[in-house]
């Protein structure tokens, strides 16, 4: 898959989904700790997570389009791993002034 000079593999998409999930866990851990710097740190994690999720979703959409045009030809072809839903990796808190659309 090649788009604008960048190649993204299915493993990259899955790894991005896992990284996003991990950042959400870290954000929740920090939020529950009650430390003074929690809000600032969580906002930075949210910014990073939004980028990870955006790239992951672009990769997942590209794979979906590719598989629609090029379905597996044999029954022996491995099935694609399910890609988590967009909202599954997002932390509940949003960043004021941050647009979700790019």
DSSP string across the chain: -EETTEE--HHHHHHHHHHHHHHHHHHHHHHHHT-TTHHHHHHHHHHHHHHHHHHHHHHHHHHHHHHHHS--SSTTSPPPPPPPPGGGG--S---TT--S--
pLDDT reading at 36 higher than 60: yes
- 45: in domain: yes
pLDDT digits (tens, 9 = 90+) for 80-97: 555 555 555 555 554 444
Confidence band of 8 (pLDDT split at 50, 70, 90): confident
- 40: in domain: yes
pLDDT reading at 3 higher than 70: no
Q: Can you give the residue range of the structural domain that contains 17?
A: 8-52
- 34: in domain: yes
The total of structural domains in the chain comes to 1
Task: State residue 26's pLDDT score.
Answer: 93
Task: State residue 37's pLDDT score.
Answer: 93
- 1: in domain: no
- 16: in domain: yes
- 3: in domain: no
User: What is the pTM (predicted TM-score) of this model?
Assistant: 0.57
- 15: in domain: yes
């Amino acid at each position: 898959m090649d788009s604008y000079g960048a190649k993204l593999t299915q493993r990259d998409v899955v790894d991005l989904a896992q990284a996003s999930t991990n950042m959400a866990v870290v954000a929740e851990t920090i939020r529950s700790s009650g430390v003074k710097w929690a809000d600032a740190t969580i906002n930075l994690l949210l910014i990073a997570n939004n980028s990870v999720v955006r790239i992951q979703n672009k990769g997942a959409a590209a794979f979906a389009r590719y598989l629609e045009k090029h379905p597996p030809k044999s029954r022996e072809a491995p099935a694609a791993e399910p890609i988590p839903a967009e909202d599954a990796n997002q932390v509940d808190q949003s960043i004021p002034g941050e647009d979700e659309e790019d």
